[in-house]
Structure formats: structure tokens, C-alpha cells
Structure 1
Amino acid sequence: CSLYLNLNRGFTEMHCMSGHSNFVSCVCIIPPSDLYPRGLIATGGNDHNICIFTVDNPAPLYILKGHKNTVCSLSSGKFGTLLSGSWDATAKVWLNDRCMMTLQGHTAAIWAVKILPEQGLMLTGSADKTIKLWKAGRCGRTFTGHEDCVRGLAILSEMEFLSCANDASVRRWQISGECLQVYYGHTNYIYSISVFPQCKDFVTTGEDRSLRIWKQGECAQTIRLPAQSVWCCCVLDNGDIVVGASDGIIRVFTESLERTASAEEIQAFENELSQASIDPKTGDLGDINADDLPGKEHLKDPGTRDGQTRLIKDNGKIEAYQWSVSEGRWIKIGDVVGSSGATQQTSGKVLFEGKEYDYVFTVDVNESGPSYKLPYNITDDPWLTAYNFLQKNDLNPMFLDQVAKFIMDNTKGQTLSTSAQFSDPFTGAGRYVPGSSSGSSTVPAADPFTGAGRYVPGSASNAVAPVGGVDPYTGTGAYQSAAAKVENIYFPKKDAVTFDQANPMQILGKLKELNGSAAEEHKLTEDDLITLEKLLSATCNTSAETPTAQQLQTLWRAVNWPEDIVFPALDILRLSVRHPTVNENFCSEKDHVQLIILLLKFLNPKGKEANQLLALRALCNCFVSQAGQKLMMEQRDEIMTQAIEMKFGSNKNIHIALATLMLNYAVCLHKVNNIEGKAQCLSIISTVIEVVKDLEAIFRLLVALGTLISDDTNAVQLAKSLGVDSHIKKYASVSEPAKVKECCRFVLNLL
């Protein structure tokens, strides 16, 4: 990676930066910050790493490790956020030197990533032909329409973006999912796209040897280059266009007369262009019959559009010319090879799972069994390739000799060409030639009463322990003089919030009622009911007895009742799990998996609301003891992934329980200072807080936010990058309850 300094006209190399152990595939600028006022440079490499450089040191400031394959795309956002895409089919969000979250959902290499101007929104484009929109670390929408691998993304505004792909098209999209326009002009893969500042015009580069400039939705200018693959382009702030190509040269094009190259330099470029060799299969030349081509006199007639191509035959050679509107003349862009009378033919590559190979064989293990794809490059060891193929597909290692011999027989002993080749920064291989492959492989308050005296789970109020003499959850003692200075009594929260209130008599009454109508295989005996009554008494502190193994076994049978009658048993579980003995028993290494499987089963968006509510409350109450905290942290990914689905309902008590679950996770994460866990929790809170309306749920989410970002600058920066401040600032003016307004202002102060 080299850093170039612009000195009036031309660029001078300032640093040659090194830190990767293999080729560099992408570069990105991280904007200036207080700590690094000149900004940083990020590079992604084939060694799976990302190197971060300062502008005045050739050695990396630090190296980001975590991807399992080549890092091929990078994008920077506000507050130092960095988004990376990789061949390992994941994207990762980084803040300073830490991975904050991993975006999983694509089924092939992620070749393009962009952070949108609206905080918390990110885009990824993949070899699986799709684009995904991510909100706070979760996939919110998948864009489909491209017919081949997506290679590049560019942002037009907060609401629109562009994409380019191997299907030779550019698409303009709305964030809402609608494809607004499709642009055609390139005749081969489009590798890169970049937008002009302050407008919606853009440039593209591709495998047809061209840089194309698009204005008002039309291709306004085509610039040919003396290199087959034009890998990348970038529009500078002054409107100049920088392109990098497969001949290893970076070229800058400008509209400015002040910066235009000298006549000698332009003539040298045209001479180089005229001497290039063009393979008709890679461009827009069509089928060529040399005998039918006219001579040089054909160039006397002017072209009809900029970039128009004409072929002529001169002294037995076929030459290609391009019309330049600005100069009013035909410019030679090369000699055509591989057509009639030509002697040179370009060999192609085959695309498989987002990477290019010399060969992709189809292997049939037996007549009735499935077929397997075996990719191979002539630089590979056939024995190692055969071994990896058998391992990947779980095939008998006895086939090793047979597969290796098959590779060697079918590659006819080919070896790597000695001519200089530049690698595709996206696939790591040489350029693709159409016709050599079929394309890429195909690789998201209280519960309402229904009648007087009836038992309804959660009908009692949710009391919690006071904090600092004032209970912010119930509002007890919250009155203050208007002149008094408000003190932050809300966060960081030190202890878990639990759901303790219940009416044991109503719970037992409902349990007995449902037991009477239950199927025989589920029915509890009178002794079983007495056992559960004793358990409820022991765990609600109305007796001094310790829960017994028999009581817990009976409870476990009851909570496995059918979904339509299980809720009173779930309520007993919710209350019982607060007892140290029960918590240790159900959350210990022996039985913890069964408990989580049971509770997550009820967090089905199509399930009964009573079961959803009580399962969430039981999860919250697990945090009361050390065994439960350990279990909840170990199973964090599964629990959070399932629990977030509860945000879409309209039951405010479910929202309060979901917010409490996030708050209890925040308490644990604050204690252990787990930044990856904080990132996950922050991303969920930032999505949930946009959906829920109940102010008690909002309050608990605000306390969770404050707890997560207290005394942690990395967490503060991540919260900013997720746009948390924009999601919560409306609550700073809530009049009642006062605790919402006060807590919100304390969180905003930290941000």
C-alpha cells in the first residue's frame, strides 16, 4: 500500500506502507478524529487481516484480526466505525481496535460494503447476487435483482444508493427496497462505482477496458484504457477521477484545464492505448469476420455518440477505434486479437462461490449419489486439493488417489504462465473472460383483566427494589423541588431487576382448574398439586422450607404441558427460579440447556402472549443468582436472537419484560466489561427502542443504555455510530413520568 501526496500537478509517493503478508485487496480512509487529527488508513488483505496506519508512519498502528478469509472491502463511518467484508461471507463492524459485531446472512463472499449516512444503517453486496441492509447489526432487508455477483456499492443520499455487478448493470435503489432504475452500457463485469460530490452523477469501471462517466442517467463519456481489467475507481473531492487497472498503473482523469496533462503525456497515453491487444470475447466488439471489415476510409465518417467503437482492417490487422465527442476524432484503442486471422487467444477463469479458478470439475461419486464441485488452480497441489475436497464433502479418504489422478489427467499438466499477471482484488485470481464459465454459482402497567377475580398471568404490578433511597421503577419518593439539582440515581445499575409480584392462590386455582380438563397423559395427581403448592410457598418466602428434588421434578413435568394450558406452571417457574436452590438446580451445568430450550420455545412470535410474557419474565429472574447469570451469559446469542422477535407485538407488558431482559444483560456486561457483548446488547436496544411505545419499557431501555456506556469510551462511540442519540432524544422532553426525561438526559450527556 502506497500513500501519494498531491503536489500541484502530479502525485509523489510519500510512504510505502507494509504490514500484510499477502496481497492488499482494499483501502479505506478513516476520517480525522480528536486522537488522530489527520485521519487513518485501513487496508484489507489476503492474509485475512486489516492493517490500520497513520499517514506519517509506514508500519501499522495496529492490526485487526477476526476474519477467516480475505478481507476484500472496507467502509468507514462516523466516530471511527469501520465496516469490513470478506470472502468468509461475513461483514464485521470495528471500533478502534475491537470487533463490535459480526453481520451474518450472506451465503457467499461479501465483495462490497458501505456505511450509510443515517447512523446505524449499513449495506453489504455479495457474490450470492444480493444486497443486504443492516440496522444496528441485524438484517432488515434483502435487495434482489442483480443476475450475478454484486461487486460495488455507492451512496447517493440517506435514501438512495447504487450497485454494480458482474451482470454488467448498475442499479439505483431506494432504502425501502424499490429498484428505481437500471443502467446499461458496460459489456462485461463492472468492478467499481463511485459518485461525484454534491450530485447523483457517477463513474464505473469494468472488465471491458473502460471507465464510463454517467450524467443524468446516461453514459456521457467512455474512456478506454490500455489494460483489460479496470479494477477500481474513485472520485476525488475536486471531481478528478482516479482509476487502478490490471497493468499496475494508477491514472487520474480531470475536466480541469489547470490539471490536464501535457500534450506529450497525452500522446504517450494514446500511443500506449493504440498498441493494446483486444480479445473480442472481453469487450463490446461482437462477432468479427475479418473479410467483411472496411479499411481506414471508414474512419472519415464521424461517430454518432461518445465512446462508439469501430473496427477496420489495415494491412491484414484488425484495429479498434473509439469516437471522442470532445475532440471530434476517432482514437485508436488497440489491435483485435483472437478473431479471424489472429494468433493470440486469452484463456479464461471459472467463477465458483465468489472466487475464480482455472478449473471447476463436477465429480460424481456414484451413479445414484449427488454431484460435487471440485475447484482447482494450476498453481495448486493436486494431492492437497484432493484431500481438502474429500474433507469438505465428508467423502471416504480412500478416494484420494483417484481424485488426485483425475485432477492431473484433466488439467493435462498445465503450469502457470510466466507472463506478468495482476490479481483481481475481489477474487484473488486473474481476470475473468466471458465464455469460459457459466457465471457464478447460486450460492432473512399491568396485564389486562378478562374478568373479575380471574387469574391472569402478570396481572399484579411489577415491583422492584429501590435504588439509592428512590425507586425509579415505581416512582416512589420521586418528588423533588423544581430548584433542586437532579442526581443520576438511575445508572449504572448494579443489580438485576426481577418480576416478584404474584398471587399464589390465584395461580394454584388456575393450575387446578386446567389440570381438571387436561388429557390423561398430562394430568397431575393430588399429591403433585400439593407438591407444587409447597414449592410455591417455599419460593414466595411464606415458609422456611427448602425446595426439594421431588418438587422440582413435578414442576418440570408441569412446564412441559401443552401451550394452551401451561401458563400457570410457567408462572410458578418464574417465581421459583428466584430461589437460590431452584436457580442452582435449573441453571447448573447439568440441566441448563433444557431450561433455555424450554423457555425459548415459548418466544415464538405466533405463540400465546401469556407464554411469551412469562418466559421473558422467567429469563429475567434467572439473573438473581450466580448460576443463572452464568447461564444467561453463556446462552446470550440464542436468547437475544429469539427475544428480539418479541418487539413486534403490541402487548406493553411483553415490551417491559423484553426491556428488563436487556437491562439485566447490561448489568452483567457492565460488571465484566465485555465489549463484544455490549455491542450486541446496544444494537438490540437501538432497534427495540424505535418500536416500543410504553414509557416504562422505554425507561428500562434508557437505564440499560446508561449502564452499558458508563465509564466506557468505546461503548459510547459505538452507541453514537448506531444513532442511539437520535432514537432517544424525543424522550428528553417527556413530562410524566419524570424519571424517563431525567434518565434520558443523563444518557444524552454521556453521548
Structure 2
Amino acid sequence: MEPTLDNYKISCELLGHSLDVRAVSAGGRTPDGAQMILSGSRDKTTKLWKAIGDEYIESVTLKDHKNFISYIYFLESEQWICTASNDATICIYNQDAFVPLLTLKGHESTVCSLAAGLKSRSIISGSWDKTARVWLISETGDVTFTVLQGHEAAVWAVATIPAQQKYVTGGADKCIYYWNAQGEKLRLLKGHTDCVRALIPLPANSLLSCGNDAVLRFWNEDGECVREMSGHTNYIYAMAGNPALGEHIVLSCGEDSTLRMWNVITGEQLGDPIVHPAISVWSVACLQNGDIVTGCSDGVVRVFTKDQSRQAKESLLRAFDMAVATHKSQLSEEIGGVKKTDLAGQEALLSNGTREGQTKMVRHVDGSIKCYVWELGKWKLVGDVTGATGGTQENSGKKLHEGKEYDYVFNVDISDTEPPIKLPYNRGEDPWQAAQQFIHRNNLPQAYLDQVANFIIKNSDNAQTVIAQPTTGYQDPFTGGSRYVPGSSSSNVQGAGNMDPFTGASSYSTASSNTQSGTNVNFVRGSDKHFPVSTYRTFDTCDAKKVLEKMKEFNNKLTCEEGKVGDEILLAVIRLTEKSPELDPTALEALMMLLKWPAGMLFPVLDVLRLAVRHEVVYSLLHNSHNVLNFVLPQLGGAAANQLMVCRCLANGLTHPEGRKQIEAQLPHIVELVSGIRAGSANLQIAIATFYLNVSISQTLDVARPEVCHATTSGIVELLKWASDLEAWYRSMQAIGNLTTTSSGQETIAQVVSVDYVMDKLRELTNTQQDENFTKVNLVGQALLAVF
């Protein structure tokens, strides 16, 4: 009679690992003939479990890897326990040994799969370094290896076909390759649409594969995919077979919490899947007595059996069923991939928000989920969260980068003209090693090492969940706490979080710090108004010590002819960053001297100016004595750092009557210069949008002037043609909204703005990035549509 999973019940649960059990394997036998179980975990340990009667006890714990265990293989011919790790090594142990017989080094990244080699005392390994290696170990312990090179991404799966003297590998490039014993490529199989994660050779030279596309594929000896087996709803991580079950019976497990059994000849799923009380069933193994072992993300090793004599006591059976039922109910109660039970209750509204525009989902006592936004010092209701999609493969919670799996993948914007680069990191990995690899991959200065490593330490240990809000602390891994770059300590917008201009807003953020991509959360609009805005936005924060250090550094590089000054001059200038600076004519004259420095050294001086012009009397003196705008406006056509600081100067200068008078007098010319900027970081986009928003505020608080409204509207339209940051969009659309409240603005907008164009751009933007700002941008857009 053909086995089915319906006959299997929980036998026992092996508790001992403190983190995910990533790998399980059948081990060797004890003297009394009982088979051992091997398990490897994210806690960096491998455990041997020996059967004592119908129970298993922890016999040995191996602790020789420096990072998590990714795969375990028991080489029966040699009675070797082989463990692969994220530390790029393979440890080989004799059974019951406590220290490795050998440690195989050579892979450049995580070793994620193992299998027996074609020769005795050999194994094959697959790695994230895009290669497989065949290792041959002599009787004397000498090690030689052959590299199988051809995959374009991580090699997730390896297998051996002894009858054909061939190796098979599968990778994140969606390809399966056959190789001969010499390491020469023989055949390519294509069909998977995502990473290939596991391979099992079958009789008649056939092959079974599975992967992140949630499909098992059966390939005949001619390399044709003749059968696809579907049932899993998310990534398939592992497969296992055992003659005790039948040569045509295979087990699979994956990210959908299930273990499944298949007849690969018919393609039929045998029985209902066994649901586990954990999201990820990472690994599966078969014992020779027909029992099945799984390793899960809840840190538990479970054994299932069809032998009634080995099935668990009624209490454990009930406890397992209850845990599964609870897990299922939690899976069904999700919004946007977030469990309702994980959401904070209404008590969360008693805590202040961390920045203007922060959003939060809150669970009410009646079970409803509502969205709130932090505005003007209090939480305001946005509306009910009525539905979402979640739990899909794209929304699995696993971070993949270049076919490799990571706990965190941070986005890094290091250039205004280049796309972001990725900084991947796994828990338990040496932060300095990860930082060094990041620096080497991207040809960055070695001086960044400590800053990158310290950033990883700070942000990986306390990573945000999808319902948490981004931290407001300044977190630039390149500058850390000891080095100044433009805007690093002075990039705060009133009511908003710190954002470094060269790394962008929340540049180092995990995918989980925002609403997950692929999520479609529908908000019912509340009654809150997003415009008119009547409070000017300013850029206020400053670390004067760092700015002074940077000015001293530049000053020391100059000659007297180029504008070198004494340290006392720099000290006088830095005092202008204070909230209430003394009106020292010497300091103002010194600032004007420094504004004549070479453009490449000007950004810290402009940073000081950005703070000084907040004060009307200071602005007035600088204008009356030197017409300061004539010094700074040419920098709008210069380097990105200078553009950023000038836009912040303009935004801050608009907060008082003297600044508005002078800036609005030249507004068409200023807008023309600003509109010449066609690319830039998120911070630059926000600075430009804030400048326009402050101009629009001035028009709502005073008599609106048609020429000012026209120039502002034209500038906003030009910005929206290239801006991609949602906060910049929000402020720009608030500015448009402000202008619609004035008669001059309404006439101008009707002439200049195509609302359909703006809304089409908004839809395009929000289809490609949905973070916490999406809600308020969507709402202000709907409010604008209502006006028009």
C-alpha cells in the first residue's frame, strides 16, 4: 500500500536549538542499531540526537563554525558528519567526535549544499560564490578540489549520479547544469522561474528539482521537463527521499509552513500536507525506519511517524494540533503581511510620534485596524485599514540579493547620479567582515570600514518590523560619529527625521522597515486636511563641532591667496550656527570671506549660512552689506552638496519677512536655476520641495502675487518630472494645494498644471515603491483631485 502523509503523526519534538533549525539529516547508527538525527541551526551549532527507546536525547553539540549552519550531510561510506556554514567553510567530523577531523576552506561565501562525491572520501559542495567544488580527501588528510564554474549566481543545490559518473548543480540563476567527473559542463536544463533550491536524482537517469517558484519539476533522461507538481504556495526549500518509503516517493517542505509527500511518477500529492506551527520548514530528512524529520524556523526538530507504537502521547498530539491551529488562525489574520496580533493596541497612541508624517497601524478593541498619522503634535485618524494581500512568495519575508538569502539588505545611496547599492547582512556574521566585503565589492575607501561595521551592529540587532517606524537618529555609516559630510549633522527638517544627503532618507533601511513590496493595503480616507499648510518648514539640526572640523580641514589645504584664514576666524563663523547668535560684525564679515572659497570646499560654509539665515536680522545684515544671494545662487549649477545647501538656505530664508522679500524678488530667476537640477538624492529632492512649500505658505499668509504663484507652480511641475522620493512628492503636492486656496494660484495652476499628468506620475511612482509615506501621498493626491 502506498504511504501517505495522512498516516503520519508527531512522534517527538527535539528542543535544544535557540534559533532556526536550518538543516536536518539522518546520521549514523548507535551500537544498538538505532539511527541518529543530525540538526544544524542559526545558533551556529550542530547537534547529534541519539534514540533511547522511542525518545531522542541530545548526545553531542558541535560548536566549531563561526556562523550559522546551512547544510548537514552524513557521508555514510566514511561515517563522516559534514557541516556547511555561512562562514564559507565545511567541517568534517568523525561520528561521536567533538572536534573536526578537517575544515575545508576555499569557498568565498556561504556553503549552502553538500552531497557525496563520485569517488570515495569525496564530497561536492555548492556556494553563494557561484561555484561548486568537488573535494577529495586522501587517507593522509591531504585535500584537493575541482571547481565547477559556470553558474551566474549562487549554487544552492548539488547532487551526484554515480551510475552516470555525473554531478548536477542548481542555482539562483534558475539553471541546472550537468558536469562530468573532470568538472566539464555537459548539459543545461532551463524551466524554473526562480532559484533552484534542491535536487534529487531518480531511477532511469531522471531528476527532480524544486525551488523558489514553488514548483517541483520532473526531468527525464533526455533533459525534458515532463511533469510539474504544484501544491506549495511559497518557496520550496528542501526535498528528501528514502527507499523505506519507495523509490518514487519524495518529501518536500518550504516557506508555506508545510511538509508534503509526492508520487513523482504520477505527480500526485499523497495525503494532506502536514502544517507546522512555524512559517519556514527549512529542511526535511527520512530515516530508514520510515520516520520523517523536519527542521523549522521556530528552532524545533520534529519527528513524524506512521508507526503507531512510536507516535506521541495524547498530550503532545493535542499540543501540536493546538499550536498548528493557532498558527493557521494567525496566518489568516493578516493585513499587508502583518499579523493583527502583532499590531499595537490603542495604548500606542499615548506615545508621541517620532517625526511629522509618521504612520502607524493600531488594533482597536473591536478588532478593527485603523491607520493614524502624526501631524502637528498629535495622532490623526487616516481611516480604516480594510484589506490587504499578503503571504505570497514575493511577500515571504525572506530577503534575497543576487540569489542569496539574507536577514537584512540595506539600500545605500552614495551618489546623486548612480542607483542605490545593496549592503546585505546576516545575523551572526562578523560585521567587520561584512563591511569589508561591501567596501571591496563597491570600490569604496577603506576609511569607511569602522563606520559601515558600526552601522551594521546598530541596525541589525534592533531591526524594524513592518509595523515599526524608521528611527529618527542620524545613521550614516560612512560618517559615523566622528566625520562630517555635507548635511550629515544638519539635515533635519522641522518635524521630520534626520536624513543624510548622500545616503538619502533612511538610506540604510531593511525591506522590513517599510510596507513590504507587493502589499496592497486599502485605506478609507478620513476627514484630515493635508493643505493649506501654514507652518514654515526649516532645516535646523547641526553638529557644530563636525562642521568646524571640516572647515579646518579645508582651510589647511588652502594658501593665503586662495582664502586661508586663521582659526579665530573659523571660530567666529561657527558661532553663527547657534540658535540665538550674537550680532558680531566680525563673524558676518568672516562668513562672507569663506563664501569665496573654491566651490569644492564650500559646502560646510554653506551649511553655516543655512543656519545663520534663519535669523531675520542676520539675513538682513548679510543682504544689505553683500547681497548674499548673489554669492550662493551660482552654486545651484554646481556640485550636488552645494545645491543641497543652497536649497536649504532658500527654504530657511523664507521663514521671515526680510528673506521672503529678497527671495521672491528674484523668484523667477531662482526657479529657473533650481529647475536646472534634473537628478539628485532624496534629501536634495526634499530640500527643493520644501523651498517650494515655503513659498506657497507665504502666498497663503499674505496677498498672493500672480508672478510668484506662476514661478512656484512651474518649478514644482519640473521637480515632479524627475523626483522619486515620496516625501518630496508629498511636500510638492501640499504646495500645489496651498496655491489652490488663493485666487491667483487657482488661475495659475489651471494654466500650468496638468492634473492628469501629475496623478499619472503619482500612480507610476506609488506602484514602484510603497513605504509608509505612500498613505499620505495618496491622500493628498485624492484631495487635489477633489479640488480640481
TM-score bracket relative to the smaller structure? 0.3 to 0.5
TM-score, length-scaled by structure 2 = 0.42
